Structure 1
């Protein structure tokens, strides 16, 4: 877990002291947490209630590019905190409440990662789907 918790972007996220029961790391973070990729690129976080309110103390939200949610870009964009994650597919509560806990931090389930990466279909997403397949994830 030293690699996960020692990563500069994770240290930045943890420095915000968000209530851990109210956020989950999404995007490539769950793959990084498992040691399947060496660079998460950035840390995407879905936050609700108290965690979203605490995050908003550090900046002003703006519209997110992919869905009707708001985001905060912190630490030069290394950490993005969103008040939802593709809400047309999942509720924020579901994503957080059913998240996997790794190193004391919640990470959205791999099924969410796969569905998101299929939806976005960028080169990086296709590469990550291949990594997931190589690790036995049914995609």
Structure 2
């Protein structure tokens, strides 16, 4: 499975979890935020290509840049977590309204079909 497909499937999983999330429950909201933070991957296999400069400069950049990238990702993670939380809250609002208007709506089934479609696309 490609990393792209895996991340999309994780997104579908978040939407599925969102269906049972109660935003007025602080513990559930905190758990939901933690699950979103877990999506931020800090890949130890980060590769850096450097051209030009001395061999010493190249080696120093190879040592320093992965840590800088990790720090940037960690700094941006809270913003992306809030963004995803907002998107999930919006999805939940739409899903709840759909369930009110269409009592036999199978939103979970729709999301499950989307996940299966993604898996078959690999």
What range describes the TM-score normalised by the shorter chain of this pair?
under 0.3
Q: Which has the higher strand share?
A: 1
| Bigger share in helix | 2
Normalized against structure 1, the TM-score is what? Answer: 0.24
TM-score relative to the length of structure 2: 0.27
Of structures 1 and 2, the one with the larger relative CO (CA 8 A, separation 6+) is 2
